[in-house]
Amino acid sequence: MNSLTMVPYMQSLRLIFKRLAYWIIPVGVSDRVLAGLWFIYALAPSKRRALKINRELFNRHAGARCFILATGPSIRSQNLKLLKDEFCISVSNCFVHPDYALIKPAYHCMASYHPPITEEGWRGWMKETAARTGDSTLFFGLQDLKRNQRDGVFSGRSVYYLGGGALVDPLIRRKVDLAKPIVGPASVTVMAIQVALYLGFKRIYLLGCDHDWILHIGQSAHCYDEKEHALVMSGYNEWGNTDLESEFVTGASLWHQYKAIRRIANNDCVEIFNATSGGLLDVFPRVKYESLFGQNK
């Protein structure tokens, strides 16, 4: 067999083995093997240690309820003071909300560093995050471990790091485990929901998840004025070079993740509700925010 015929032969052989593995090796086993290989070979020892630490969070709030606070403009019309004595997980730049200090979210999730964020812009944003999140326990992407440790702005704070990389569909067949790969979120809210699931919350309510950017492409809309965002002040533009096609793809990916998360939650008898006022997110059942604060919580 000459070199010209060897290449297609080897490609066909690999395809055959791949198909055989699909039918012979149980899916659950293959998922665990892939996750194990990722954990052993793709991570530096410092990152493996960081993930193992996450085990101490498992079921910390078993059976309780929580609210996830995103930054959609809709929460301007909602009375967040009602959350004063609730477990809350805030995200991103939510800490600039005037009621943040009153609510004192127990947890805060930050989206990972990504272009076109600059190192200088990130450094400034992290300084503001450290200064304005009080005693909140913080969550970051694992890729930000060295970046945050280098600057030392979170010294003395309770900080955890999450590793993305898990495929969405296989994850449905097992519970979220923050000590292993989780879904690399298309929105920081997906990160927050996975945190809530691992912490053991049984009822999760989403606020500020408007997700209607497709209606105002090129124009940012949050619960705060854009000048209140440290990244924007450093020159950051969240839109960059975008068009309808790329935004449709982004939206489809996000909706796919939400649907997978819904199935994971259902498998564990966890209820997720959308308490956002308006918005486009239609994956979770709607509930009126104010109705959640009656005599029986």
Is the Cβ–Cβ distance between 116 and 240 less than 8 Å?
yes
Name the fold adopted by 43-291.
Answer: sialyltransferase cstii, chain A (3.90.1480)
Reference 207, options 293, 136, 127; nearest CA is 293
**What is the torsional sign of CA 113, 93, 279, 216?**
negative
**Residue 210 pLDDT exceeds 80:** yes
| Residue 40 token pair | 């052993």
pLDDT band for position 46 (cuts 50, 70, 90)? confident
pLDDT band for position 44 (cuts 50, 70, 90)? confident
Where are the chain's structural domains? 43-291
Give burial (CB, 10 Å; 0-12/13-18/19+) of 70. Answer: buried
**Residue 39 pLDDT exceeds 80:** no
- Phi first, then psi, for residue 201 (nearest 5°) are -65, 140
High-pLDDT (> 90) share of the chain, %:
50
Give burial (CB, 10 Å; 0-12/13-18/19+) of 260. Answer: buried
Give burial (CB, 10 Å; 0-12/13-18/19+) of 182. Answer: buried
Q: Which of 11-20, 32-41, 188-197 has the lowest mean pLDDT?
A: 32-41
Ordered DSSP codes for the chain: --HHHHHHHHHHHHHHHHHHHHHHS-HHHHHHHHHHHHHHHSS-HHHHHHHHHGGGGTTTTTT-EEEEE---GGGGGS-GGGGTTSEEEEETTGGGSTTHHHH--SEEE-PPP-TT--HHHHHHHHHHHHHHSTT-EEEEEGGGHHHHHHHTTTTTS-EEEE---B-HHHHTTS---TTS--B--SSHHHHHHHHHHHHT-SEEEEES----GGGSTTS---SS-GGG-HHHHTT--SSSS--HHHHHHHHHHHHHHHHHHHHHHHHTT-EEEE--SS-S--SS-B--GGGGGSS--
Reference 157, options 108, 192, 101, 97; nearest CA is 108
74 or 168, higher pLDDT: 74
pLDDT reported for residue 33: 47
Q: C-alpha angle 111/145/250, rounded to 5°?
A: 25
pLDDT reported for residue 199: 98
- Average model confidence (pLDDT) for the chain? 82
pLDDT reported for residue 125: 87
pLDDT reported for residue 30: 45
Is the entire prediction scored with pTM above 0.75? yes
96-101 own/partner pairs: CB under 8 Å, 24+ apart: 96/132, 96/224, 96/228, 96/229, 97/69, 97/223, 97/224, 100/132, 101/134
Is the Cβ–Cβ distance between 64 and 200 less than 8 Å?
yes
